[in-house]
Amino acid sequence: MPPIDPNTLLVVLWGLLVLLMSWTWLPALIAALGGTRYENGGDTDPTNLEPTGGDEDYQFWYDQATQLGYKPIGQGFMRIRFDGPIWEQRTDVRMFWNKSQQSYLFLQRLRAPRAVWYSTHFAACYTDGGLLLSDNTQNSRPDFELEFIRQGKICFDLQELEILHQAAVEVTRKQGRSIEADGTIETLLRSTELNAGSAARHLGGRRGWDFLLLNGLIHACGSIPAAMAVGFAHIGLLITNFVLWGLLNFSQMIEKRQKTEMMRIALFHAIRQRSKNIPANVVSSR
């Protein structure tokens, strides 16, 4: 077998590096150019929404939801394509409805290793196409001048979050806005797609630009000194970029896993605390 020409090998290795980098750089570029897309879907079969006994995290939210009068109405998914450097971000969704409160509740879980049912949202869909979301993943105040109103409070008590949500609902009612009260998952999915779509596009674009600028700056800072030292055609420049790519991707993977683990720890701590406050006969009856 004839030896491989060094220049050919260098071109092949640079091509491999470009392919590896494109796995995150390409979706980030698409997102930065406004290509982020939000999609959802679901079915109306509530029969398999009861906890199975092995999903302690879902049981935690399900018990609170039913105690507040929310009934399961269906399940589905919510998906964001080109979410910054991520090709697709998909979550499983379980949906509930409370007729007396005219409010939806939906739970979300990322499709990822060791992911848990962590994110909860109360939702009010309005006849004018607007949407009010109250979630437990951030502390934020509502802007009632917007069509898509978002607020939040970091907590694991659904009753506490519902109080916050209903207070905001009352403000919108005083503004003359009417709630869609049919309680179907089609209404919820249509409203979230209409309102969350533009928000996802804006956030995805910002994440895309942040990723491209940060990673581009790091590669430039590492490549320019290497190129000045050994030349642009030297394999040392290629190795420098391979190392930078590996370190950046490894750090981002570790950060994602740490975030997931922190969610697990916080949620299961809340589950333990709640179980201590429930009478023994209630716990044993489950």
Per-residue pLDDT of the chain (286 residues; tens, 9 = 90+): 567 777 787 888 889 999 999 999 999 999 999 999 999 998 887 778 888 877 899 999 999 999 999 999 999 999 999 999 999 999 999 999 999 999 999 999 987 777 889 999 999 999 999 999 999 999 999 999 999 999 999 999 999 999 999 999 999 999 999 999 899 999 999 999 999 888 899 999 999 999 999 999 999 998 888 778 777 778 888 888 999 999 999 998 898 888 888 888 888 889 888 877 764 333 333 3
Q: pTM for the whole thing?
A: 0.84
Cβ-Cβ contacts under 8 Å for 126 (sequence gap 6 or more): 132, 172, 177, 178, 179, 180, 191
Q: For 176, phi and psi rounded to 5 degrees?
A: 95, 10
